[in-house]
Structure 1
Amino acid sequence: MEWTDEAIVLSVRQHGESASVLEVLTRDHGRTAGLVRGSRKLKPVMQPGNSVQLVWRARLSEHLGSFAVEPARARAGALMENREALIGLNAFSSLASATLPERAPYYDPVFVAANILLDAMMEDGIAHWGALYVRWEAGLLETLGFGLDLKSCAATGETENLIYVSPKSGRAVSEAAGAPYKGRLFVLPPFLSDPAAQISLEDISVGLALTGHFLLERALRPNGKQMPQARLRLEALAAETGRESK
């Protein structure tokens, strides 16, 4: 069996003396792994965040298989030189590995958005790409079947003044309907419901809290997993950066 695809490197681990197991997020074949033989020369290419072109081969579809790897877009160097970008990269790669089922071939929107996100991380800090990251996680929830419903109020059906999200239903709640319960509701960052909205560091922080809650409760804990430490560090970075900006 054989297929060719575009991919983003998520992780790589040594296998024996001269081989590596490469885990990637592909455009058409989901999250998958393969063996790369004689991988020392390819070490700079097989770094998290880099885009590569792959050929996967195996005798049977259920086998690990082997990858032939060609470089496509190098990002790892730039991402690793910047503290905020490195934290974002680690959060992205660890969360993709933890939540996406292996070899589920229906994650093209997640893949496309990931490329946009990683390119943005090369340019500036979390104030620049933080909202993109939150949107990527919201899209990940949607793809996994746990999408947030932010179009109308869960209590009244109104479509204006939606400023909260119910932690149980994942539906938006209006300012008036949520006022008595605001201590138990998540804040809805404006940029998740309005692409033209202004974005603050506080919005990014509350957005990460929102998507992180639903990823943990709906995608991770039901599968016996906890939130990756790398993702928790990203949330701490957003809070830290927000405090420093005041």
Structure 2
Amino acid sequence: MEWRDEGILLGLRKHGETSVIAEVMTRSHGRHMGIIRGGRSRRMQPVLQPGNSVSLVWRARLDEHLGQYQVEPLVARAGRLMESAIGVHGVQAMAALLRLLPERDSHQRLHDAFAIILDSFDDPALAGSMYVRFELAVLEDLGFGLDLTRCAATGSRDRLIFVSPKSGRAVSADAGAAWADKLLALPSFLHSGDAASDTAEGLAAAFALTGYFLRRHVFEPRGLPEPAARAGLETAVQRQLGAKPASDRDNRTTPEDENL
């Protein structure tokens, strides 16, 4: 068995005295493991860093075997990522999300978004907003996508300012007025088409929104803690924006109206 692909390194672990097992988010073959012979050498260490993009050749006798990688560098971004808290926490947080996906399942959209976001960490507002959209994409690929395009109660696309914690659907200002203290805030940039939140408060609300559904549908059912890198990323982004992260709203109860 043999295939060629490109991917982004997620992590490594030692294998024997000189080799490593590399975990790579490949473009066409999903999250995939493989042994790299001599991966602990001085020549390979700068290449084999989380966040770097590499060209891969994978070989194994059978498809279900771990197999071996031959690796060549494509984009060396790890050094730049390690220079900032946003970069350090960001690559770790996204790697943790990608590990929620079944191994060897292709998710080309997530691979491509991963690369774009890693190259955008110099802009705190853009980085935080793109990361939240990445979480929304992961939720969708896991089968828990949110509908933020129209009101759950009326079907309207106007004045969408809430999200129902029960259904994961948007709710308009008028329809949600009676349950305002029980609904999650919907930052405008997540449905308006804006690239990034224009306020620190909007970004904090976005982290609270996706965090709620990740805990409800993914982390808690699997008995997993929320990755510390996620909170670290939010804190680093908010500090760069000159604000403190807003408190989470996951203690809110679910609306009783079954239409929301």
Settle same-fold status: TM greater than 0.5: yes
User: In the alignment, which residue of structure 1 is the partner of 2:55?
Assistant: 53
Between the aligned partners of 1:73 and 1:175, the Cα distance in structure 2 is 45
Pairwise CA RMSD of aligned residues?
1.9
Aligned to 2:247: none
The answer to whether the 8 Å contact 1:165/1:171 transfers is yes
Q: CA deviation at 1:27?
A: 0.7
1:171 is matched with which residue?
169
Cα deviation for residue 196 of structure 1 reads 3.0
Find the aligned partners of 2:129 and 2:96 in 1 and give their Cα distance: 18
Q: What is the CA deviation profile of residues 1-47 of structure 1, one whole-angstrom value per residue up to 9, with x for unaligned ones?
A: 11111101111111221011111111111111111111123111111
- In structure 2, the partner of 1:100 is 101
Q: Distance in 1 between matches of 2:243 and 2:187?
A: 20
Number of residues paired by the alignment? 242
Once the two structures are TM-superposed, the CA of residue 125 in structure 1 deviates from its matched residue by 4.1
1:142-194 deviations in Å (ceiling 9; x for gaps): 22221110111112222110011111211001111212222221111111101
Matches within 5 A, 1:45-194: 45-97=47-99, 99-105=100-106, 107-121=107-121, 124-194=122-192
SS in 2 for 1:4: strand
| Residue 238 of structure 1: how far off its partner (Å) | 4.2
* Contact 1:84 1:125 (8 Å CA) reproduced: no
Partner amino acid, structure 1, of 2:26: T
Partner of 1:222: 221
Q: With structure 2 as the length reference, what TM-score do the two structures score? A: 0.87
In the aligned structure 2, how far is the partner of 1:103 from the partner of 1:50? 19
CA distance in 2 between counterparts of 1:71 and 1:242 reads: 33
Structure 2: distance between partners of 1:53 and 1:130: 28
1:12 alignment partner in structure 2: 12
Distance in 2 separating the partners of 1:6 and 1:217: 33
In structure 1, list runs of 5 or more residues that go unmatched.
none
Q: CA 1:185–1:236 in structure 2 vs 1: closer, same or farther (change >3 Å)?
A: farther
Matches of 1:79 and 1:147, distance apart in 2:
29
User: What's the TM-score once normalised by structure 1's chain length?
Assistant: 0.92
- 3-state SS of 2:177 partner: helix
Q: CA deviation at 1:222?
A: 2.5
Which secondary structure state, in structure 2, belongs to the residue aligned with residue 32 of structure 1?
strand
Q: Aligned equivalents of 2:156 and 2:123: distance in 1?
A: 36
Listed as ranges, the gaps of 5+ residues in structure 2 are 245-260
Return closer, same or farther for 1:152/1:116 CA change in 2, 3 Å cut-off. same
1:90 is displaced (CA, Å) by 1.7
Question: Residue 186 and residue 238 in structure 1: after superposition, are their counterparts in 2 closer, same or farther (change >3 A)?
Answer: farther
SS of residue paired to 2:162: strand
Q: Which amino acid aligns with 1:38?
A: G
Distance (Å, rounded) in 2 between the aligned partners of 1:216 and 1:23: 24
Q: Distance in 2 between matches of 1:196 and 1:244?
A: 21
Match of 1:38 in 2: 38
Instruction: Give the whole-Å Cα distance in 2 for the aligned partners of 1:38 and 1:243.
Output: 45
Task: Report percent identity of matched pairs.
Answer: 49
1:63-114, Cα deviation, whole Å (9 max, x unpaired): 11111111000100001011222221221122222x1111112x01111111
User: What are the Cα deviations for residues 182-227 of structure 1, in whole angstroms up to 9, with x where unaligned?
Assistant: 2221111111101137522222211111112212222333233221
CA contact (8 A) 2:86 2:237 kept: no
